[in-house]
Amino acid sequence: MSIHESPNPQRPRLLLHTALTPAMRERLQLQFELLDAAALEISRSSSLSGQVRAMLCNAQTVIGSEQLLQWPALELIVVIGVGMDGIDLDAAEQMGIQVCNTPAISAEDIADHTLALLLTATREIVQANEFVRHGRWLRGRYPPTLRFSGQRMGIVGLGCIGRAVAKRSQAFDMSIAYTGRAPKNDVPYRWCGSVLELAADVDFLVLCASGGPATRGLIDAEVLQALGPQGVLVNVGRGSIVDEQALRQALQERTIAAAALDVFVHEPQVPEALMDLPNTVLTPHMASSTRHGLQAMLAQAESYLLKHFGLPEITD
């Protein structure tokens, strides 16, 4: 792939840290000069980097303060997705760089995936599938599983995603409790002052919080002990929120019943111990990854870019 994708120097230079659909790339080329981050790294072209005015990233992109200094003309970073913990937000603010994401758009898909993970873990869908496929049903019935409906749901982080999870949980007659930075005045759910208090009073603990120093290792051995042997942990937030060693031990010793994880500390590396356990459900950070959702997030990202630079809407 060539570094330049549009020869018009009047167009703002947009650095791509994420793959785009052919249609999206073609649309953006009408208004921006596109630079591929990998190709630019190979070329080490300071003349190009000095004129980059915007970046398009995904939730896995890591951009530290030293990297930001390489882009003196940078004005805007748009993250396709929710997580922005890979970006040094403090440094960006100090440099006057605006950072935005697309949380509301992906919230519905992430909430759907959350409930799917939780249903799969509680009703042991994966294990039951193997039970049938390996002919074990011929020798007897599958043992009873945990109940899903009517249980106590605990949500860590009641943002767009947490609210969408709560809404779906209510359809299953669950009681809702939550914790976060501060109580919300516009919801009827019960507030808990700490994650430990929340874990001790729920059956399902769902992590929808963002990553970063404030939440690193938040779910530790004490929290898992409080969740208890009938409890199920679901993480669709960030892998760093969970102490994976403590989780492995809790699952092995049946301190908790099960865990369903879409995010991990060192993605795409997943601890073998978690993969070997029968009471885990693991997915590859795909909660927001639907075709409809991706199109909507790309459209929102495009809108942010055009609005920031005062460019006209791209029409088909």
Provide the pLDDT for residue 82.
80
Distance, in Å, from the CA atom of 231 to the CA atom of 146, rounded to the nearest integer, reads 9
pLDDT at position 59:
80
How far apart are alpha carbons 49 and 13 in whole angstroms? Answer: 9
Sign of CA dihedral 77, 241, 248, 144: negative
> What is the predicted pLDDT for the residue at 50?
74
Q: Is 106-282 a CATH 2.60.40.10 domain?
A: no
Point out the catalytic residue in the list 238, 244, 248, 302: 238
Half-sphere exposure of 76 (CA within 13 A, CB side): 20
- pLDDT of 4 higher than 50: no
267 tagged catalytic:
yes
Cite the residue boundaries of each domain of the chain with CATH code 3.40.50.720: 13-101+291-309, 106-282
Strand-pair partners of 155: 178, 206
The Cα 255–Cα 60 span in angstroms is 31
Which of 88, 78, 83 shows the shortest CA–CA distance to 106?
83
Dihedral in degrees, nearest 10, Cα atoms 17, 77, 270, 210: -170
80 DSSP β-pair partners:
58
In this prediction, residue 9 has a pLDDT band, given cuts at 50, 70 and 90, of: low
Backbone angles phi, psi at 231, to 5 degrees: -85, 150
Residue 245 to residue 206: CA distance in whole angstroms? 18
The reported pLDDT for the residue numbered 314 is 72
Helix, strand, coil % in the chain, rounded to nearest 5: 40, 20, 45
Known active-site residue 33: no
pLDDT for the residue numbered 8: 45
Name which of 116-125, 133-142, 304-313 the model is least confident about: 304-313
- Band of residue 244 on the pLDDT scale cut at 50, 70, 90: very high
Return the closest-CA partner of residue 78 out of 225, 297, 279. 297
Q: Which of 41, 93, 253, 267 is catalytic?
A: 267
Catalytically annotated residue among 13, 53, 285, 302: 285
245 compared with 297, residue with greater pLDDT: 245
Active site residue 75: no
pTM: 0.85
Q: How many CB atoms lie within 10 A of CB 133?
A: 9
Output the pLDDT for position 48: 67
Tell me 135's DSSP state: T
Tokens 């049938």, located at residue: 132
Higher pLDDT, 43 or 181: 181
Q: What is the pLDDT of residues 159-214, one digit of tens each?
A: 999 999 999 999 999 999 999 999 999 999 999 999 999 999 999 999 999 888 89
262 pLDDT band (50/70/90 cuts)?
Answer: very high
**Percentage, residues of the chain above pLDDT 70:** 93
Residue 47: its pLDDT value, please?
64
Q: Which residues contact 260 (CB under 8 A, 6 or more apart)?
A: 117, 118, 120, 121, 232, 233, 234, 235, 280, 281, 282, 283
Q: Are 75 and 97 in contact (CB under 8 A)?
A: yes
Residue range 13-101+291-309 forms a domain whose CATH class is alpha beta
